[in-house]
Amino acid sequence: MRDLVHDPAPRPFGYFLHHQGRGHVERCAAIVAALPPDRPVTLFCARPELVGSARAGVEVVAIPSLFEATGDERAADWIETPETLHCAPVGWPGIRRAMAEITGWFDRADPALIVCDVSAEVAQLARICSVPHVKVLQHGDRGDAGHRAAYDGAAGLIVPCDARLAQPDWTDGMRAKSVFAGGLGVETALPDRADARRRLGIDPDEEVVLVVSGGGGTGFAVAPLAVGARAMPHARWIAVGRLEREWHATVPANLHICGWVETMADHLAAADLVVASTGNTTCQQILAAGLPWIAVPEWRYFDEQIAKALALDAAGVATHLPSMPSSIPAWRRAVAMARARHDPDLQRDMVRPDAAQHVAGWLEALAARLDAPLPQLASGA
């Protein structure tokens, strides 16, 4: 607890928040809520409505999107992108305005640090502006110069997973300045199984396969799910999230396509087996539920979900398939493998209920270290 009489008011934290997918928003909300109430926070996001209501002392600043064109751009794509950047097209007024908003705040606010979730360009911008940045480290093929510059220049790294899911190419230096936080931003407590099934109208003895398709892309195709449902005709298959329909997909009666639901906790509590992609939120929820899991990654930049699925499989908490099974026998083999490898205790041990408090305390300690005065050099004779 700070001594409010003798300690000066804490300097603000900044937080750059990507608006694709759910994980960025959920992590941000959890961390900000766990910070001390007297710590000012300024959030920068292209879709501020995603942030929702924030506690006192939190400012939400709307900035233009860094990758969605508005029609005012100039065609300068012939200029080669350097290896140190990912998405930095030339001639985009929106990007210029977004960066001006952030750098203007740097100058006015003198922040203690900024959390970047995620953009290699914004992270490097902070370093160039002499502002310490904390980078969120995600899975994926991120050994390129742009990512490495963002990681190497960071004061610290927030890793929203258990340390046992670390990628082999994460260096000792990266791990040394990382805080691992499995379950960050995700509600890990589940309702009672019988109560959940009653609310969903599912019989107590009915077998349930839950399909979870992510929100950061186009979602799973329906056709292979229909094949899977036919492979298990006595089970109820429930598909939630975004799905892509094909003209040739014939849906059997035991496949229920529900779209987005507000009852994910009930669905997980009611399930016997999960087929899901490997986005951050989905992973943490399934691990907390401790269910047999067939992990099928969706396309994402830098192969993020592929790398996550490989890490989950290597740790023994999911069965990775590079794509959906394409036949009834293949589905039956995949289900048998997932059940044979299932270790619910290991899965649940990958998430920590106090993940947000753990990260918030780590950020506060890092800010205190960054605020420490420089050692005085001895004067010469």
What pLDDT digit, counting tens, does each position of 23-66 carry? Answer: 899 999 999 999 999 999 999 999 988 887 668 899 999 999 98
Q: Which two tokens stand for residue 339?
A: 């059940």
Do 69 and 147 fall within a single domain?
yes
Taking the model in full, what pTM does it have? Answer: 0.92
Which tens digit of pLDDT belongs to each residue from 102-144? 999 999 999 999 999 999 999 999 999 999 999 999 999 999 9
HSE-up (13 A, CA, CB side) for residue 51: 24
DSSP line for 114-153? EEEES-HHHHHHHHHTT--EEEEP-SSS--SHHHHHHHHT
Do 110 and 39 fall within a single domain?
yes
3-state class (DSSP) for residue 43: strand
Amino acid 46 reads A
Contact 13, 115 (CB under 8 A): yes
Euclidean distance between CA atoms 184 and 126, whole angstroms: 24
Share of the chain above pLDDT 70, in %: 96
Q: Is residue 6 part of a domain?
A: no
Domain that holds residue 150: 13-185+353-371
CATH number, domain of 272, equals 3.40.50.2000
HSE-up (13 A, CA, CB side) for residue 156: 19
Amino acid 71 reads G
The residue whose two tokens read 């300068």 is 76
Q: Is residue 8 part of a domain?
A: no
Query: Is the pLDDT reported for residue 294 higher than 90?
Result: yes
Phi, psi at residue 115, to the nearest 5°?
-90, 130
Amino acid 257 reads I
pLDDT of residue 4: 46
Q: Is residue 377 part of a domain?
A: no
Q: Is residue 376 part of a domain?
A: no
Q: Which two tokens stand for residue 321?
A: 């398939």
Least confident of 54-58, 207-211, 290-294, 355-359: 54-58
DSSP line for 307-359? HHHHHHHHHTSSEE-SS---SHHHHHHHHHHHHHT--HHHHHTT--TTHHHHH
With cut-offs at 50, 70 and 90, classify the pLDDT of residue 373: confident
Task: Please state, in angstroms and as integers, the Cα–Cα distance from residue 230 to each residue in 73, 206, 327, 328, following that order.
Answer: 50, 16, 10, 7
Q: Which two tokens stand for residue 223?
A: 């056709």
> Which helix (H) or strand (E) covers residue 214, if one does?
none
Do 331 and 199 fall within a single domain?
yes
Closest-CA residue to 131 (of 298, 380, 374, 367): 367
Q: Is residue 157 part of a domain?
A: yes
Euclidean distance between CA atoms 271 and 248, whole angstroms: 28
Q: Is residue 381 part of a domain?
A: no
With cut-offs at 50, 70 and 90, classify the pLDDT of residue 9: confident
Do 114 and 31 fall within a single domain?
yes
Do 201 and 308 fall within a single domain?
yes
Query: Is the pLDDT reported for residue 380 higher than 60?
Result: no
Do 225 and 276 fall within a single domain?
yes
Contact 186, 177 (CB under 8 A): no
Collect all residues with Cβ–Cβ distance below 8 Å to 5 and sequence separation of at least 6. none
Do 61 and 177 fall within a single domain?
yes
* C-beta atoms surrounding 99 within 10 Å: 18
State how many domains the chain has: 2
Query: Is the pLDDT reported for residue 255 higher than 90?
Result: yes
Cis peptide before 118 (omega within 30 of 0): yes
DSSP line for 261-313? -S-HHHHHHH-SEEEE---HHHHHHHHHHT--EEE-PPP-GGGHHHHHHHHHH
